[in-house]
Structure formats: structure tokens, C-alpha cells
Amino acid sequence: HLDVIEAAEPSIHAFLQVSGDIAREQADAFDAKSAEEKAAMPHLAGVPIAIKDMIVTKGIATTAASKILEGWIPPYDATVIEKLKAAGMPILGKTNLDEFAQGSSTEHSAYGPTHNPWDTERVPGGSGGGSASAVAAFEAPLALGTDTGGSIRQPGALTGTVGVKPTYGGVSRFGAIAMASSLDQIGPVTRTVLDSAMLQEIIGGHDRRDSTSIPEGPRPMVAAAMEGAKRDLKGFKVGLVKELGGEGFQPGVQARFDEAVRLLEDMGAEVVEVSCPHFAYSLGAYYIIMPSEVSSNLARYDGMRYGMRVMPPAGVPATAANMMAYTREAGFGDEVKRRIILGTYALSAGYYDAWYGSAQKVRTLIIDDFNKAFEQADVLISPTSPSTAFKFGEKMDDPLAMYMNDIATIPANLAGVPAMSIPAGLSDDGLPTGIQFIAPQQRDEVMYKPAAALE
Ligand code: GLN
């Protein structure tokens, strides 16, 4: 994989840093284990993995693709990294993303964009375009991503990879750089559904260091994926979300999705239409709640604690407040600043109830929609993203067009339910499309069965 990385990186730029020496050391340590020791380890033991640079790695620089964290070397490992190390999985390096995971194309990285291996003039999606491209280009067999509004699933759809956002709280967020804490979740990026199941079983489970972690054992996801591979879905009810599809979705994306629905029916699944009327407000609620949490979480980058510090120029008083202002002006990119401003406004006195309070009420209505839908179906489906990979620059001057990419993925984050995207075939333009499966809270295994069946 290190050789493939060397050959592919000039045209892909999936990695911000390759940790070849560390990976080799870890691989050697695994090789040196006895056969009995190896047999007691998880299925993926010894398989290397790439890590989105939004997850902290002890001794390996972690930037969140922001200038403000340049040069910061974390003194600790995220819980998921500790688990990968315990599973004997070598760490190939840190992958590119939109700065602080804010974006849908990886163009907002302070270190230049990642290219889509299917067409290097196109974006790989975002924010986790680096992890998705690394897996799609065979630079890494597996990767980790983070998903706040679709950053694992939408790049999955645009690069023809599998991406899973587990139930909120199902995988520890300790050591995941916080974007919007009530929405953030770490999850697998892989080439097959079974790989994701194995990886999620390794990284999941309760963690006392994350207060939102669910105190419950891992779900039987590998067993569900193996069951699904038998391609028998008799007795399984699939809910087609009426509001997620049709108008606004590229015809080629919709066509592949419709074919996937027919395949599910052919395997015995019963497909029913379900309505989630409040999904129409999910993007609006997300773009209040998410920036509010971003503005609060990113307050910690103050020039005191991490990475860069910019002192005021001569003539400007060298106060702490001025130092912070100059550091943040130089350290944050435009999209991050836009969201900090939006969030600060939404949370300010007098506006809190009108904006943040209303958005939280909408969130409750969306959760109610899910609860009702899951009374009618075991799993919900939709296209993952309304379009295939777009060209660089196409949506950079139009934040709203960029935000529309996540129309189908955001509801799952707002409700905390698990969701995954798997490849659904190529659109008429020759580019990958994705189908999304959504399962009830803490029932992650339920989506693995039909996903593995369709694969
Ligand atoms: N694209 C979405 C955003 O810009 C989702 C980001 C994410 O999931 N981290 O907010």
C-alpha cells in the first residue's frame, strides 16, 4: 500500500501525511506475533488503515486540514486509534478533508483539494474526500472518517466506496476533533459492506472518556452482513423515503437508485413508501445547529493552546485579545469563518430562541418522522447524494449549492440514527452513485443485511 500511495499521490492527494515508518513498525510487530496470538485477534488484524486528519494520533501531526493546527503533534491517541493499534492494524497516514470537516468537496482544505480517482478533474466529495479517495484508489484497504452531516456517506457515493455513520454514541468520539458535538460520529470507509461491519465491530463500544458514548456492547454487524450475502430478504421491509428523491436529483442517480429498489424486491424484500414531511426542514435546522456548535467548539483555537500564534503587527497593542484576533484571522479559512459568524449570531442574546430554539424543535419533529417511518419499515432507503462528482470550482462560490449535497444525509445526523452508503452503479456520466440505508437507533446491524445483499 505504501508503494501504491507513492505512485498515486501526485494525481490524487488523498493524504496530508503518510506515516510509512510507523506503519512498517506496526506491521513488523504484528508479523512477529505467534500464530496463537494472531488467531485471538480480530479478522482485520494486520490490515493497514488510513485515518481522516480529524482524528488525533499520538506522535503523528494532526491538522484538521487547518493552518491553525499546523505543527501540532497530539500527545494522545483517540479511543478508536487505541483500538486499531490493539487490533494490530498499521496506520498508513492521515487523510485530507475540508478544513475542520466543513464542506462537501474537500476544496476547503488549507492544503489543497483531493482529486476523485474516477476523474481527477472532479471532487471526491467531502468533507472526508481524502479517506474515500484513498480507499477508491487502492492506496488503503480501509479508512476512518467522521460524519457530521454526511462527510463519510456523500464521499462514499461520489467515489464508489462504502461509508458508514454508526448510531450517535456507538463509536467513541474521544480524540475526534469536535466540529458539532451533537452530530459528529466516527465511522468506517471501505470497499465492501463486510469490511465496514468488521471495522465497526473493532472501533465501536462504550468508552467512559466520551460522555455521549452508549453503555452497550457491540452489535452483531458481521453476522448481519454474512446473512445478507445470502441475498434472501424475505420478510424484510424497506421504506422508500418519499421526500428524498425525484426533483433535484440527477436523473442518472435516480435511475440507479430505482434499479437498486427493484433488486431488493427481487430478493424478496417488501418495499413500501414512507413519508417524512419534516425532512424538508432538515437542511435549515442543520445550518443553525451545526454552526452554533462549531462557533463554540472552535473557540478553543485561540493561539494559546495549539499550533499557530500570530502576534499583532507593530503599532497594534500586543494584548491577548489582539493576538487571538490575528491568529484566528490568519489560521481559519473562509468557510470556517462563515460558520463561526453564523453560529455566533444564532446563539446571541435575543436571537437564541428564534434560531437555535426553533431549530432544536425541528430536530424533534425529524426524530418523530423517523420513529413513525420505522413503525412501517425495518430500514429506510434513499439516494445518498443528489448528484455524482462535480468539477472543481463548480460550487465554491455558491455555499447554498454546496450545502444541498447533504440533503439526504443530514436527517440521520439530526436524529442520531445509523446510516450507510454503498455503491449503486455508474450514472450515465460514467461516475459512481450511492444508495443510502438508514436503520433505527442502536440497531446498526439492521442496515448491514440489505446492504450486503445488494452489494
Ligand atoms: N458537508 C456537510 C457540512 O459541510 C457535512 C460535514 C460533515 O459531515 N463533517 O457541514
Does residue 58 surpass a pLDDT of 80? yes
Catalytic residue chosen out of the listed positions 104, 109, 151, 387: 151
Q: Is 406 a pocket residue for ligand 1 (Cβ < 6 Å)? A: yes
Q: By C-alpha distance, which of 96, 70, 73, 91 is closest to 81?
A: 91
pLDDT of residue 401: 84
Q: Does residue 52 have an active-site annotation?
A: yes
Considering the entire predicted model, what is its pTM?
0.97
Confidence of residue 352 (pLDDT cuts 50, 70, 90): confident
Catalytic residue chosen out of the listed positions 19, 52, 196, 449: 52
pLDDT of residue 452: 98
Sign of CA dihedral 265, 269, 271, 277: negative
Confidence of residue 175 (pLDDT cuts 50, 70, 90): very high
Average pLDDT over the chain, rounded to an integer? 96
Q: By C-alpha distance, which of 434, 450, 394, 449 is closest to 189?
A: 434
Query: 104 alpha carbon to ligand 1 midpoint, in Å?
Result: 6
Q: Is 102 a pocket residue for ligand 1 (Cβ < 6 Å)? A: yes
Q: Does residue 449 have an active-site annotation?
A: no
pLDDT of residue 399: 87
Q: Is 302 a pocket residue for ligand 1 (Cβ < 6 Å)? A: no
Does residue 217 surpass a pLDDT of 80? no
Q: By C-alpha distance, which of 343, 344, 307, 341 is closest to 327?
A: 307
391 contacts 163 by C-beta, under 8 angstroms: no
Is it true that domain 2-277+375-454 has CATH number 3.90.1300.10?
Answer: yes
Output Rg (C-alpha) for the chain, integer angstroms: 21
Strands 142-146 and 49-52: parallel
**Candidate ranges 161-175, 294-308, 393-407; pick with highest mean pLDDT:** 161-175
Between CA 434 and CA 382 the distance in angstroms is 9
Question: Using alpha carbons only, what angle is made at residue 214 by residues 209 and 219, rounded to the nearest 5 degrees?
Answer: 120
**What is the number of other CB atoms lying within 10 angstroms of the CB of residue 242?**
15
pLDDT, tens digit, for every residue of 221-276? 999 999 999 999 999 999 999 999 988 899 999 999 999 999 999 999 999 999 99
Domain ranges of the chain: 2-277+375-454
Determine what percent of the chain is predicted with pLDDT higher than 90.
Answer: 94
- The ipTM assigned to this model is 0.97
Confidence of residue 141 (pLDDT cuts 50, 70, 90): very high
pLDDT, tens digit, for every residue of 20-30? 999 999 999 99
pLDDT of residue 87: 97
pLDDT of residue 218: 64
